[in-house]
Each structure stands twice: as C-alpha cells, then as structure tokens.
Structure 1
Amino acid sequence: MKYLCLFFLSSVCVLAVTASEPDSTKLEVSVEIPQLNVSEYHRPYVAVWVQDTNRKVVANLAVWYQLTGKTEGEGTKWLPDLRQWWRRSGRSLELPVDGVCGATRPAGKHTLQFASNDKRLASLKPGDYVLVIEAAREVGGRELLQIPFTWPTKSSIEEEVAGETELGKVSLSITP
C-alpha cells in the first residue's frame, strides 16, 4: 500500500486505501558466447545497449571487458575495438561505469535482467528502439547484432537473432 488516508465526515470514519502497483515490466537479454576451437583464444569484449531510431544511445546495459591487468586501466585499451559502441557512447564515458561494466565472460549463455524502474531503463520514453549487442575479440573477429522493439509493450515480446562467429544466439524478452 502506498497511501493510507483517514477521513472523518460527520461522525462517520471513512478509510480510503490507495494501492499503487509498481511498474512491473521486465526486460531480459540473453547473450550466448560460443566456444571457439582456435589456437589462441581470448574472451570477447561485449557491449549491450539500447539506441533510438536516430541511432543515439539511450541506455548502456552492459560492457564486459578486461577489468584487471598489470597496470591501471590496461583492459580499456581494447574497448575502441567495440567500434559502434565506442563511437556512439564509449569514448564519452568515464570507465568503469557503476552497474554497467563487468569482467569478460567465458563461453556459455549469460542473462541480463532489468526492471522498468532500473536507472538504465527509467528514462526510456514510449517509442521504437533497437537492442544492440557488439562483440570483439583479440586475435579474432567482430560481430554486431540488433533486435528492434517497442517500449513499453502491452503484450509479451520474444525475439531472437543468431550470430555467426563471435556471438551465438541472442534473445530479447519483454514482459509487461
């Protein structure tokens, strides 16, 4: 219950209770990093963000890169290899970004979950957007996948795309 109000009207007590349901829209992103059979394997750097129809970044959801090294910030040296993310958002950020940046992930399926009141999504205005996932690997390749969606949604959305080299299946699920 968000509000509890008592009103007294000519010797009659009226109890008014107003309950406000929190916005319960959930956005879930699943990113698969494939196991590659190569002689020199390095975990990929991955950026996940939401952009508007003008290709402007409106929310950085995750950036996975090498956080530890021999010298401070050593892992950031390779972030420009995430070319699209770097040009649109990365170079203007002070890294690491709290709650966004994390260590590179091993091969496997990784899930990100966000509620609509998460600070990364709270400023999304109703409209059309694109979820973008970019991966780049040292001594490897680059890959960029996109999933368009509308925010907010009145019914559940399930979309999936598949990468060819650096990314496996990537899915977006939005439930109102």
Structure 2
Amino acid sequence: MHHNNVFKINIATKLTIALSGALALPAYAAELNLSVEIPQLNVAEYHRPYVAIWLEGADQKVAADLSVWYQMKDTKEGHGTKWLPDLRQWWRKSGRSLKVPVDGVTGPTRPVGKHALKFTDKQPALAKLAPGSYTLVIEAAREVGGRELVKIPFTWPANAPQSSKAQGSSELGAVTLAVKP
C-alpha cells in the first residue's frame, strides 16, 4: 500500500509539472498592426488632426472602436470633445453614443509622422469580434483644414498573414495594415 501512494504522488507531480509547463508556453495572439501617417502640410495655420480608427462589419456598422485622437485639454475655445462631431462618419456611426474618454481607445492628437498601433485578440475590442469580413476605417478631420477617410478591407481572424496599404491624399498619408493569425 505504501508503494502505491508514492506512485500516485509521482504521477500527480509529473502531471502538474507537465501542465504548468504547457501553460508557460507563449500564447500567440491574433494581431492587427497598423501604421498611420499624419503628413506634413505646408499651411499657414496648422492644427493637429482629430483621428478616429474603427472596424466596420459587412453591414457597414461599427464592430469596434480602436482609437480616437482628439484635443484632450481645455482651450479658450472650450473642451476638445466639442469638435469630435467633425469626424462625421465616425460620429454618426459610433461617436455620439460613446462616452469619452474611453480607456484604451481615446488619446491625445498626434504630431506629424508615422504612428504604429497594435491590437490583439486579447484586448476587448477584438476579443468580441466574430469571424468575418471587416473594413478598417480611418477618418481624419482638421480645424481650418479638410476631412479624409481611408478604408482597408481584411478578414478576421486571418488564416495566413495579410498585409494591405492605402494612401491618403490630404489629411492622411500612408496607412498600412498587417493582420497576423
């Protein structure tokens, strides 16, 4: 009887070690990697653009808000949320029903240059995303400036790595999207 208990303990210990080892392996998450360029504009009065980045399903409804950049400080003209409706497409589809700020989504405007963003299926926005065809939409609007919309279609989750590019013509520069399985 004594040998039997030792044998059970050894099996249990080995099984526990094996399971904890399996859990320690890196878990690869499906990812969206995005690069958004805010171009240098030669204008007399430059204001950083407000930018909304979201995913639309095949029904063209907002499936997830990924990022919204706006003037977060109060100025003499008021609070920056006052101009969020200038992001017309996003505002009409999602923005007006969103209570900003949203942790992990909203943030300050960005300067000229390329901005890298990474989203994984572990984050709330993508964790709830059903498999299917989607469109990444980026809208930029600038005070005393223009408005621009760039769209890139993709499939979620990806069976194989996907890579797509789009080029803005005024308020947005190069936009690249890489989807990893």
Asked if Structure 1 and Structure 2 have the same fold, meaning a TM-score greater than 0.5 normalized by the shorter chain, the answer is yes
The 3 A distance-change label for structure 1 pair 69 and 125 is same
Give the structure 2 partner of residue 67 of structure 1.
72
The 3 A distance-change label for structure 1 pair 23 and 37 is same
Q: CA RMSD in A?
A: 1.9
Are 2:49 and 1:44 aligned?
yes
3-state SS of paired residue (2:73): coil
Are 2:169 and 1:169 aligned?
no
**Counterpart pick for 1:153 among 149, 155, 158:** 158
Are 2:30 and 1:25 aligned?
yes
How far apart are residue 70 of structure 1 and its match? 3.5
How many matched pairs?
169
**Structure 1: where are the runs of 5+ without partners?**
1-7
- Deviates most, 8-17 or 48-57: 8-17
Whether the 8 Å contact between 1:62 and 1:101 is mirrored in structure 2 is: yes
1:10-29 CA distance string (max 9 Å, x none) = 94643333425634222111
The 3 A distance-change label for structure 1 pair 9 and 28 is farther
1:25-174 matched pairs, under 5 angstroms: 25-70=30-75, 74-174=79-179
Q: Return the alpha-carbon distance in structure 1 between the equivalents of residues 75 and 165 of structure 2.
A: 38
Q: Return the alpha-carbon distance in structure 2 between the equivalents of residues 145 and 151 of structure 1.
A: 19
3-state SS of paired residue (2:140): strand
Identity %: 56
1:81-131 CA distance string (max 9 Å, x none) = 101100110000111111111111111000111121111110011111110
3-state SS of paired residue (2:124): coil
Instruction: Choose 1 or 2 for highest CA Rg.
Output: 2
3-state SS of paired residue (1:121): helix
**Structure 2: where are the runs of 5+ without partners?**
none
Greater strand fraction, Structure 1 or Structure 2: 1
Q: Return the alpha-carbon distance in structure 2 between the equivalents of residues 69 and 88 of structure 1.
A: 26
Q: Return the alpha-carbon distance in structure 2 between the equivalents of residues 9 and 130 of structure 1.
A: 59
3-state SS of paired residue (1:120): helix
1:16-62 CA distance string (max 9 Å, x none) = 33425634222111100000000111110000001101011111110
Whether the 8 Å contact between 1:57 and 1:89 is mirrored in structure 2 is: yes
